[in-house]
Amino acid sequence: MASHCVVVGAGILGAAVAARLAAAGLRVTLLDQDQPGRATSRWSFAWFNSNDKGPRPYHDLNHAGIRAWAELAPDLDGDAWYRPVGHVELATASTAAELEARVERLTGWGYPARLVDAAEAAALELRRWAGELLRRARRTVRGLDDARVVELKVCARPLPADGQSIVGRLPGTPGVYVAVTHSGVTLAAHLADLITTDLTTGTPPAPLTPYTPARFSSGIE
Ligand SMILES: Cc1cc2nc3c(=O)[nH]c(=O)nc-3n(C[C@H](O)[C@H](O)[C@H](O)COP(=O)(O)OP(=O)(O)OC[C@H]3O[C@@H](n4cnc5c(N)ncnc54)[C@H](O)[C@@H]3O)c2cc1C
CA distance 187 to 191: 6
Percent of the chain surpassing pLDDT 90: 62
Rg of the chain over all Cα atoms, to the nearest angstrom: 21
Per-residue pLDDT of 95-152, as tens digits, reads 999 999 999 999 999 999 999 887 787 677 555 565 555 656 666 766 666 666 677 6
pLDDT of 117: 86
Residues 7, 82: Cα–Cα separation, whole Å: 26
Q: How far, in Å, from the CA of 184 to the mean position of ligand 1?
A: 7
Which ligand 1 atom sits nearest the alpha carbon of residue 32? 44
Question: pLDDT of 17-48, one tens digit each?
Answer: 999 999 999 999 999 999 999 999 988 777 88
User: CB within 6 Å of ligand 1 — which residues?
Assistant: 8-14, 31-34, 39-41, 44, 46-47, 155, 157-158, 181-186
Ligand 1 centre distance from Cα of residue 77 (Å): 22
Report which residue type is found at 156.
A
Q: Structural domains in the chain?
A: 4-72+153-216 (3.50.50.60)
How far apart CA 140 and CA 103 sit, in angstroms, is 36
Q: How far is the CA of 17 from the centre of ligand 1 (A)?
A: 14
Distance CA(113)–CA(7), nearest Å, equals 37
Alpha helices (H) along the chain: 12-23, 40-44, 56-72, 96-108, 118-123, 126-140, 184-201
Q: What is the pLDDT of residue 221?
A: 46
Question: Average per-residue pLDDT in the chain?
Answer: 87
CA-closest residue to ligand 1 atom 10: 183
The pick from 185, 191, 195 for probing ligand 1's pocket by mutation, whose C-beta has the most ligand atoms within 8 angstroms, reads 185
Pick the more confident residue, 136 or 65.
65
